[in-house]
Amino acid sequence: GAVVSQHPSWVICKSGTSVKIECRSLDFQATTMFWYRQFPKQSLMLMATSNEGSKATYEQGVEKDKFLINHASLTLSTLTVTSAHPEDSSFYICSARGGREGETQYFGPGTRLLVL
Amino acid sequence: GQNIDQPTEMTATEGAIVQINCTYQTSGFNGLFWYQQHAGEAPTFLSYNVLDGLEEKGRFSSFLSRSKGYSYLLLKELQMKDSASYLCAVMDSNYQLIWGAGTKLIIKP
C-alpha cells in the first residue's frame, strides 16, 4: 500500500512555456500533499503544502503565482510551473499523507524538469 | 530555530555494520522519520519512531532518545545496494517535517 505516482517522469521544454506535473495517491486518500524541489546534491526543499479543497500554503521565497498548485480531489494534486525558465530546472517530488496529521509521508518517484 | 544535524558522508565496507546519527532541535516533536534516497530517485520511507527505544525492521534498526534529541539508523550486513543518502526528518508541533541535509553512505567492497 501507500503508493504515490507522478506524471510525467521527465519533461524537457522551452523557456517561457508552462509545465504541469500530476501527483496521485493510488491506494489511499491523501488529505495533504506536499511539493518538494531538489537540486543536484542538495537536500529536499519544501515548496508548498496543499490540503484537498483549499488553497496551498507556500514556503517563504516560493512564488505562488509561478508555481500553481491545485489539490482538487483526495487522490490528485497538480503543480504547474508557469513561464518556466532554465533556473527552474530541477527534480520536483510530491509526497502524500493520509487523514491524520502524524502519518507518514510517502513520496512519488519525482519529475525531472529541464528548461532549455 | 529548528535544526537537524547528521553527518554529510560516511563510508563502510560491504558486510559490515554502520550507524548514522541524527540530532535535532525542533519546536515540539511528533515523531522522527528515516528515509533512503538513491541518487536520482525520490526518497523511500524506512522507519518512524515516536517513543524512546529501538525499532527493528530486518537489516535496518532505528533508535530514538527524545530527552537527548537523538536518533540513529543502524544498518547491518551492508550490501552494495545500500549505497544511498539517508535522510533524517522530524515532525514538529505543527506536524511539519523538518529535514536534515542527508548522509551520503558509500559502501566499498
CB contact under 8 A, A105 and B50: no
Residue of A43, A106, A108 lying closest to B45 (CB–CB): A106
Residue pLDDT, tens place only, B98-107: 999 999 999 9
Residue of A43, A49, A105 lying closest to B101 (CB–CB): A43
Residue pLDDT, tens place only, A38-55: 998 888 899 999 988 888
- From the candidates B9, B51, B62, B97, which should be mutated to test the interface with A, based on the most A CB atoms within 10 A? B97
The C-alpha atoms of residue B30 and residue A55 are separated, in whole angstroms, by: 25
CB contact under 8 A, B102 and A43: yes
Q: A53, exposed or middle or buried, with CB in 10 Å at 0-12, 13-18, 19+?
A: exposed
B contacts of A46 (beta carbons < 8 Å): 97, 99
Closest-CA residue in chain A for B39?
A41
Residue of B40, B43, B95 lying closest to A107 (CB–CB): B43
Residue pLDDT, tens place only, B15-66: 999 999 999 999 999 999 999 999 989 999 999 999 999 999 999 999 999 9
Higher pLDDT, B65 or A3: B65
Is B74 an interface residue toward A (CB < 8 Å)?
no
* Mean pLDDT on A44-72: 91
pLDDT-derived band at A28 (thresholds 50, 70, 90) equals confident
The C-alpha atoms of residue B70 and residue A35 are separated, in whole angstroms, by: 27
Query: Which pairing describes strands B3-5 and B44-49: parallel, antiparallel, or unpaired?
Result: unpaired
Is B4 an interface residue toward A (CB < 8 Å)?
no
pLDDT-derived band at A91 (thresholds 50, 70, 90) equals very high
Distance (Å) from the C-alpha of residue A112 to the closest C-alpha of chain B? 9
Residue pLDDT, tens place only, B52-89: 999 999 999 999 999 999 999 999 999 999 999 999 99
Torsion of CA A110, B96, B49, A99, to 10 degrees: -80
What pLDDT was estimated at residue A1?
A: 61
